[in-house]
Structure 1
């Protein structure tokens, strides 16, 4: 059984996040959406609150997708939970450069990364923009 993790802040979860998760869930037996609790970022809501929001946004028939909040390195989570691959979405060349750096670090820690390009219709959506539009 191949398990993957899709980490992110998800502040808030966007249609782009759901698209990446939806596509990744078909590539792996199990997908864990890993809601990052990261001291370097200042999310607007607590990790478990964001994880609950992600769970509520997932279609009910996505039986092989789970959601959890995690404080620490994604690679550490992968090693502790027998997860083979990290999945990340990329919207533009800036994302690609940043994600390649993270992928190299995670590869050095023994976990490969699969970069999935965002669908063109979703490429302009970011959590930052979604926060600004949220009431």
Structure 2
């Protein structure tokens, strides 16, 4: 049974995040939405509060999706928890280039990355844009 993580800051969780999680949960036996605890990104809320917000946003019938907060490399979480795949959403060519670099690093650490393109209707939605709108 293949397990995957979908890591991110989720500050805040957006419809695009939920769409990627929905598609990923259908591909894997278990999906862990992994909320990054990384002070370098200066999130508006701490990791545990962001994880709670993600949990609240998930539909109750998504039985194979859990949420965890994690400080450290995603690949380290994967090794520690016997996870096979990292799922990342990409909105544009800049995202693809950046995610390919991360994917190469994670592959060298023994974890495969699956890039899921954002649906066109959601490509303009980012956590930064949502924060700017005050949502």
TM-score normalised per structure 2: 0.99
1:84-123 equivalences in 2 (<5 Å) = 84-123=84-123
How far off its partner does 1:134 sit? 2.0
Unaligned runs of 5+ residues in structure 2 are: none
> Is 1:60 matched with 2:60?
yes
> Is 1:40 matched with 2:40?
yes
Moved over 3 A (4+): none
* Equivalent position of 1:81 in the other structure: 81
How far off its partner does 1:39 sit? 2.7
Unaligned runs of 5+ residues in structure 1 are: none
> Is 1:8 matched with 2:2?
no
Distance 1:51 1:134 in 2: 19
* Equivalent position of 1:19 in the other structure: 19
Higher helix proportion? 2
CA RMSD of aligned residues (A): 0.6
TM-score normalised per structure 1: 0.99
How far off its partner does 1:52 sit? 0.2
How far off its partner does 1:38 sit? 1.1
Distance 2:128 2:40 in 1: 16
